[in-house]
Amino acid sequence: YIKLCDVSILSVDEPRSFKVKDQEIMVIWHAGNFYCLGARCTHAGAPIAEGTVNEQVLTCPWHYSQFDIATGAVLRGPAKKPLKCYKSELRDGSLFVDL
């Protein structure tokens, strides 16, 4: 596991992306849980952290594909591939991601 960030810099339901070991990873803090996903839309590579979260659904800012933040599954296209999900752990106020 690699430290991604201190949770104090995160806001509820506001995606935030980080670059770690040449990978872009987005974190979403929703309903008390932290979800770590790939930070680029699988449809056209949009910076999906600029999208919006409503309930457990992340909407891409470019073509409005929708993804389940818990599983990365596509809920509405045009995207066909799910977002990659990363395991994470909260330790002493910091979020660590499994790369």
Distance, in Å, from the CA atom of 43 to the CA atom of 32, rounded to the nearest integer, reads 29
Select from 64, 65, 59, 2 the least CA-distant residue to 28.
59
How does pLDDT run across 35-82, given as a tens digit for each residue?
999 999 999 999 999 999 999 999 999 999 999 999 999 999 999 999
What is the arithmetic mean of pLDDT over 1-28? Answer: 96
Contact of 65 with 74, CB cutoff 8 Å: yes
pLDDT of residue 31: 95
Distance, in Å, from the CA atom of 38 to the CA atom of 12, rounded to the nearest integer, reads 18
Question: What count of other Cβ atoms lies within 10 Å of the Cβ of residue 36?
Answer: 23
Residue 98 pLDDT level (bands cut at 50, 70, 90): very high
* Block residue for tokens 């979260």: 53
